[in-house]
Every structure is written in C-alpha cells, then in structure tokens.
C-alpha cells in the first residue's frame, strides 16, 4: 500500500500553528493513523491501555476494535456501516441511530484524566471519532433531503449545530485533552432521520461513475476523513495565505463536509482569527450538469437567502482532493456571481492518472498537503484490512 507523500515535511506546516512542544506531540500522533484516518495501534499496546478505563469505555473500545496481524484498528463495522450494508438504507438508518445513542452514553464516562498517555488519548479520541461521524451523516442527510422536500428549519439548524459541536469537541480533545459538551439530538431529529428522510437517487445508473454508487454509501461516507491531514492543512493555510481573514470557506458535500468546521474549530482552540463562516453546497463532478449555471441550483431553496451573505466577500473553496479540478472550477465560476475574490484549494491531490485538468496545480491557492495514489482502491483496501474479513 502506498504511503501518503507529503510535499514538505509535516513540521513545516505545524510550526505555523503550534508551539515546538505541541508540534512534536502531533508528529508522534501521525504514526498512529492508517491511510484513511482511523487510529491503529499494536495489539499489545491496545490491551495494556484498556485496563485503565472504566468498564463501559473498555467494552465500547473492544466493540469497535478489529485485530489484524498484531495491529488493532479503531474504525469498526459500526463506522463503516454504510459500506458493509451497501445500499440497504432500511437497515443502515436505524442501526446508525442506535450506535449514536450508544456512543453518546459512553462519552459521558470519558474524563481527561484517562488521557495520561498519547496512546490512551488516541483510543479515547476514536470514540469521539465515531460520534462526529454519525453527526455528519445526519446533518448531511437533512441537507440532501431539503434539496427536494421541505423541512422545519429549526430542525435543520439543530442538526447542523449538533454536528458542529461534536466536530469541535473532537479536535479540542485531540489537541488539549479537554472535553466540551457533546451534542444531543432531539427525538424528532432521530425520528425524521430514520423514517422520513428522502435520499435523492440517480436517474440513471451511469450517473455515478463508474457503475453507480449505492445510496447508503453516497449519503454516509466522506472522502476527507483524516484528522491529521486536516490539522496539517490548517497549519499550511496559515503559512501560505497571508491575508488576514477568509469570510467564507465553501465546502462541497459530502466528501468535504468536515473540513470547514474542523478548520474553524482548530483556529478557535488556538485563539486565531482566520475563518468567519462556512457555506455548504451539494455539488461534485459526478452526475451534475455539464454546464452549471447558478449556485442556487445546488443548495436547498429554504436557505437560498444565505447566498446574499456571499456578496463581495473573500471566499475560499476547499475540497477534499483535486483530480481534474472540475468541481473546484465549476463552483468558482458559479460563485463569481457574488464575489470577485475567490480562491480554490484542496487538501489532497491525485496525481497518478493523466487527465485534462480545469484547475492546474499552480492555480491552487493552497498547495495540497499530500498526493494520493489510486485513492478508491487504496481506501477499499484500508477498510478491508481494518475490518479483518467482515466485508
């Protein structure tokens, strides 16, 4: 399996955001993450750390652990539920809410005192990792639902605020060992998610390349799901972008959903003013119009008024990765209706296949931290290894 190839040494980026001592600690973390962004730890170390935790935390960590060749992986079938169940949404949605309730109860037992070693902190962070994953699936599904159907806006805002809260909570714990208040979804939110959410489906199986993506996978998986990559990008953004503030970070759903909120949280933890707000759009190079005309086609009509906030603002479009650059190019062109100050960036760059590129490497405001090789094949291998034959 190819490794992530950093274009510069990670410390070059981290030193712009952290003290030398903090940078050293984060660099130690890097070796504990697999290619997809989940925690991996030796089986012996995992078993040793378990003994210090209360019984409920211990049992949960055991339930999300998968052992393979002496290594324990902490993103389980509960995390990759949408891949395991494929397009069986009838099964995925109630299971996900069940797992959400389960992990929320476990988080109540987490105490910063338990994070007395780097390994114990990372094990506990894997619990928070599962929680924010479920939050983003719920929020994303509400956004998609509103593209076709109406929804009480207070429920949409609740889903968004809960999602943002747990993203922030995750990075706060990872960086400070402190735990903030976790989200709590109302019964109405859970009921809607399980029973009434309408998922847009492809009109034609060829609409999602190469042979079509099952609905559950399309709605519930993110490509940029590597916290260390996001942390490195946060430091890189400070280093390469000399302008004081970014008014809006625009993220395409669903692959890049976490990025803007994570960046804002990381900077807030470090008391750095860099990003004012986040704007989401459901747009990708898969299955969209060949000639996109207006950004308003790709956000829910109920929140169409939010586009007015973009007028005259400094905007940075950040995607999870860049291949042909079609997505970044199209979104930038549509945003020109609102602002003449738009830049594009990507956290990762796919470099191995030659295609016609709408966005060239030198046009990216922030150069990608890493390059990936054969991303889809590699990701499938990571999941298969992590789940140790469960697929």
Burial class (CB in 10 A: 0-12, 13-18, 19+), 110: buried
Domain 222-373 has CATH 3.40.50.2020: yes
First-to-last C-alpha distance (Å) of the chain:
19
In contact, 240 and 307? CB cutoff 8 Å: no
**Residue 15: how many other CB atoms lie within 10 Å:** 16
d(CA 315, CA 313): 6
Q: What is the pTM of this model?
A: 0.86
- Per-residue pLDDT reduced to its tens digit, 191-237: 888 876 665 544 443 333 333 344 555 555 566 678 988 998 898 88
Q: What is the pLDDT of residues 296-343, one digit of tens each?
A: 989 999 999 999 999 999 999 988 766 667 788 889 999 999 999 998
- What are the start and end residues of each CATH 3.40.50.2020 domain in the chain? 222-373
More confident position, 107 or 374: 107
Q: Are 284 and 134 within 8 A, CB to CB?
A: no
């Amino acid at each position: 399996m190819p490794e992530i190839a950093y274009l510069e040494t990670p410390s070059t980026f981290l030193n712009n955001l952290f003290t030398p001592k903090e940078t050293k600690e984060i660099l130690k973390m890097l070796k504990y993450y697999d290619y997809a962004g989940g925690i991996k730890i030796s089986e012996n170390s995992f078993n040793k750390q378990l003994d210090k935790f209360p019984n409920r935390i211990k049992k949960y960590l055991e339930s999300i652990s998968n052992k393979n060749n002496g290594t324990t992986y902490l993103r389980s079938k509960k995390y990759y539920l949408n891949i395991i169940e494929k397009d069986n949404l009838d099964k995925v949605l109630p299971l996900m809410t069940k797992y959400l309730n389960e992990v929320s109860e476990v988080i109540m037992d987490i105490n910063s005192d338990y994070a007395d070693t780097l390994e114990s902190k990372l094990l506990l962070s894997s619990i928070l990792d599962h929680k924010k994953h479920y939050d983003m699936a719920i929020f994303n599904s509400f956004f998609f639902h509103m593209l076709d159907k109406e929804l009480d806006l207070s429920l949409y805002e609740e889903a968004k605020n809960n999602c943002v809260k747990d993203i922030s909570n995750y990075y706060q714990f990872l960086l400070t060992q402190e735990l903030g208040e976790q989200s709590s979804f109302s019964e109405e939110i859970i009921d809607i998610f399980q029973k009434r959410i309408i998922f847009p489906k492809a009109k034609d199986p060829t609409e999602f390349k190469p042979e079509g993506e099952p609905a559950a996978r399309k709605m519930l998986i993110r490509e940029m799901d590597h916290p260390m990559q996001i942390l490195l990008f946060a430091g890189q953004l400070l280093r390469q972008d000399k302008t004081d503030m970014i008014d809006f970070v625009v993220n395409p759903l669903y692959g890049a959903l976490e990025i803007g909120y994570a960046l804002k949280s990381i900077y807030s933890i470090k008391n750095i003013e860099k990003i004012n707000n986040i704007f989401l759009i459901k747009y990708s190079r898969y299955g969209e119009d060949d000639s996109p005309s207006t950004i308003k086609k790709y956000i829910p009509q109920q929140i169409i008024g939010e586009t007015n906030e973009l007028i005259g603002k400094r905007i940075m479009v950040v995607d999870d990765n860049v291949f042909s650059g079609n997505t970044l190019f199209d979104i930038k062109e549509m945003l020109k209706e609102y602002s003449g100050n738009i830049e594009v960036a990507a956290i990762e760059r796919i470099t191995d296949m030659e295609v016609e590129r709408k966005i060239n490497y030198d046009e990216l405001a922030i150069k990608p931290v890493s390059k990936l090789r054969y991303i889809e094949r590699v990701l499938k291998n990571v999941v298969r290894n992590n789940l140790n034959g469960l697929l």
